Structure 1
Amino acid sequence: MSTPKPYGHGELGLPQVDEKASICRISTNGLKKAQCWPRDNGDALPGYETLREELAAQFPSGIDAFCGTVGGAGMVMGVSCVQKSKWPDTRVVVLEPASSPVITEGRTGSHSVEGIGIGFVPPHLDSKLYDEARGVSEAEGRAVCRRLAREEGLLVGTSTGLNVVAAIALAKELGPGKTVVTVAVDTGLNYMNGNLLADA
């Protein structure tokens, strides 16, 4: 079985990513549809309109806390924009791998969680739209993925595992009667060839 390649070593910081995006734009003759970097993508936050509408429909009285892992930060910021405008007391917690605590501690590190923990603070991450940042153990996230597969029949990836670990912790902190929401961001079918679900 293959082992995921570690991410977040910090070889590419924001200037290097901007440079790569510029090369991409040049190679596509600057076509507007070629969105090479989320900083350029004006749809990154509005693109989560459907998710915001779904949350509003399912929880018309609002939610007490929302948490989610951060890659480009579009999902968490897109949801938070609406939550904070309608329900300012909603506690929004952004998550990252504990081994690469760029947001929480300002340093990079190695991890194997695809799609998040990109090695620098993404431009869309607005400190006014979240209340707290937390690092979550990748090992705990992977264990929760296996548990979700065994007990709930849900095949999810490691970033979703981190989301669920944090959501459970928040629910315990807030206590009974509170509503904590997170997102299963993709399907574990993408990880069937790896070792994530090997023991599930």
Structure 2
Amino acid sequence: MILDSVLEAIGDTPLVRLRRIVPDGAAQVLVKLEGGNPTGSYKDRMALAMIEGAERRGVLRPGQRVVEFTGGSTGSSLAFICAVKGYPLSLVSSDAFSPEKLRTMQAFGADLVVVPSDQGRITPDLFVRMRHEVDRIMEAENAFWTDQFNNTDALDGYAVLGREILAQTAGTTLDVFCAAVGTGGMLVGVAQAIRGKVDRIVALEPASSPMLTAGFGGPHRAEGTATGTIPPLLTPGSYDEARALEEPEARELVKSLSRLEGVFAGTSSALNVLGAIQLATELTPEQTVVTVAADTGLKYLAGDLYL
């Protein structure tokens, strides 16, 4: 089949069963491999939904500049979408995030502002400073801000991911879906699509920044998660439970995922799988936990994650 546009290559990613790292007697763990999207991230779904939603409403004009602040994957995905659709793009990011992500944004033609971090750590004030840069660009360039933390169009993109999971697990009872929270869009969008078909929706976060479980943020290195606030998209009732997980344990799991399961992913994906395995040990072998590998490990090779 020949696709009319590379944008049609977004989605329809595989769902695989983990076989070697899930303890005996636990529920089966299924992982949606989002590294199969064009930029290697599930954020392609969100970026396309946000841009096309703005086009439908007429709030994004042809040729208008787009702007966003981002930890990396959203920026890479927006750069990809805007390149295909012909929109100039300004992105605000930080040296706290992997250099591969920053280079990907520039490879697709985005203008990039890099805000310095506190010793490479992701802290709540970092996002405040990044947002200030967005305000400056909006005023100077009359740019359209996609506003990923508040943009409900993102939920439409992630609902498709949820519907894919349902189609791929037809005939299988789903007991738990779990995922780490960054903007909250993926967890909420998937939950909207699978609610009523799954018993529990569990939000995950690093224990070093336990905003959902303890009410405060903190520094961490799990890119794409835990901004130090409760994201607006994560509305009351959108999930059933929140759990905080140890980031060092997730970072160690990255290696087992690649070497034992062949799942090549980053820190947030490992956080998702760690949460899924912990939940699976509380269930029976006849039950099922589903989570998402958010992106590909190719985005993390320059750092210390795979050393």
TM-score calculated relative to the size of structure 2? 0.57
Whether 1:10 and 2:124 are equivalent positions in the alignment is yes
Q: Say whether 1:26 aligns with 2:135.
A: no
Deviations 1:25-80 (A, max 9, x none): 3334153xx314431x2311001133112111112244110000000011000000
Give the C-alpha shift of residue 108 in structure 1: 1.2
Contact 2:204 2:242 in 1 (8 A): yes
CA 1:194–1:30: 2 relative to 1, 3 Å: closer
Q: Is the strand fraction higher in 1 or 2?
A: 2
Please identify runs of 4+ aligned residues in structure 1 that moved more than 3 A.
16-25
Show structure 2 runs of 5+ residues with no match.
1-94, 98-119
Q: 1:24 to 1:3 in 2, by over 3 A?
A: closer
3-state SS in 1 of match to 2:201:
strand
Cross-structure match for 1:190: 299
How is 1:19-168 mapped onto 2 (pairs within 5 angstroms)? 21-31=134-144, 34-39=145-150, 41-61=151-171, 62-84=173-195, 86-87=196-197, 90-168=199-277
Residue type of the alignment partner of 1:35: T
CA distance in 2, matches of 1:13, 1:156: 24
- Counterpart check, 1:178 vs 2:271: no
Q: How many residues align?
A: 190
Deviation of the 1:176 alpha carbon: 1.7
The amino acid that maps onto 1:69 is A
Structure 1 equivalent of residue 36 of structure 2? none
Identical columns (%): 41
Matches of 1:120 and 1:3, distance apart in 2: 18
Q: Hey, what's the Cα distance between the residues in 1 that align with 2:127 and 2:268?
A: 21
Opposite residue 277 of structure 2, the aligned amino acid is I
Paired amino acid for 1:58:
Q
The Cα of 1:197 is off from its aligned counterpart by 0.9
Q: Report if the CA contact (8 A) 1:65-1:90 is conserved.
A: yes
Shift of 1:102: 0.8
The Cα shift of 1:127 comes to: 2.5
DSSP-derived class of the 1:181 partner: strand
Report Cα offsets for 1:119-145 as digits up to 9, x if no partner.
111000022021111111111111110
Q: Aligned partners of 2:266 and 2:219: how far apart in 1?
A: 18
Give the greater-gyration-radius structure (CA). 2
